[in-house]
Structure 1
Amino acid sequence: MDQTLKIKVNIAQRVYPLTIRRDEEERVRKAVAAINEAVKRFEERYAVSDKQDVLAMCTLQFATQYLGLKRGEEGVIAPLEEALKGLEEQLDAALK
């Protein structure tokens, strides 16, 4: 059975064909959605007409967040810890 999948994704109104592993499809589609949402936010907030400029700013934003997670910076990890704590409390309540 073939473990790869050919898909097309639309990023900033351009279509890109990809060949990915089947188990990566959901993650890739979520990443595409996050990129397109970031593009939309930048276009709404700033008077930027060039898609390349918008994509560059999105790339900078995502790279900064990634590096913050990689370094374990408090400002990036704190919201994740809060979400996990809330989930843990809900699980505890459900199990009681």
Structure 2
Amino acid sequence: MDVRRITINVAGRVYPLNVPAAEEETLRKVGKQIEAMIKDFELNFDVRDKQDALAMCALKLGTNAEVSAKANEKNINASNDRLMKINQLLEDLEK
């Protein structure tokens, strides 16, 4: 596995990471998104320090992840239902 050493800047701190090459672009993108979110929170809300901005980022990202997970679960369940109906139709045709 190709592992790369990269640095990500979050909230004014530099974090060295060893990451699989396939994940490097994603980590850099997420790092930039977090930085943008921090700036947005600092500009638009009464944020006292970076800790508050990071906590707000964590809440927003966690909420987004949970909403996506629920939507994915709903889509999977709907797809399973459709596949079971199709399977039943095929079984009925074989009879």
Q: Structure 1 counterpart of 2:47, which letter?
A: V
Aligned to 1:45: 44
The superposition leaves residues 56-82 of structure 1 with CA deviations (integer Å, 9 ceiling, x where unpaired) of 000000000000000008xxxxxxxxx
1:64 matched to 2:43? The reply is no
Distance in 1 between residues matched to 2:29 and 2:8, nearest whole Å: 11
Partners in 2 of 1:61 and 1:20 — Cα distance?
Answer: 24
Establish whether residue 24 from structure 1 lines up as the match of residue 31 from structure 2. no
State the alpha-carbon separation in 2 of the partners of residues 49 and 6 from structure 1.
33
How many residues are matched?
A: 72
Amino acid at match of 2:32: A
The structure having more radius of gyration, on CA atoms, is 2
Displacement of 1:46 in angstroms is 1.3
Structure 1 stretch 40-49 or stretch 58-67: which is displaced more? 40-49
Counterpart in the other structure of 1:82:
none
* CA apart distance, 1:48: 1.4
Could you say what secondary structure the match of 1:37 adopts?
helix
Residue-by-residue CA offset, 1:13-39 (whole Å, 9 max, x unaligned): 110000000010100000001100100
State the 4+ residue runs in structure 1 displaced beyond 6 angstroms.
Answer: none
Among the aligned pairs, what percent are the same residue? 39
Quote the Cα distance in structure 1 between the aligned partners of 2:37 and 2:47.
13
Aligned to 2:87: none
Counterpart position of 2:35: 36
The CA RMSD over aligned residues, in Å, is 1.3
Q: Secondary structure at the match of 1:54?
A: helix
Unaligned runs of 5+ in 2: 73-95
Q: CA deviation at 1:49?
A: 2.4
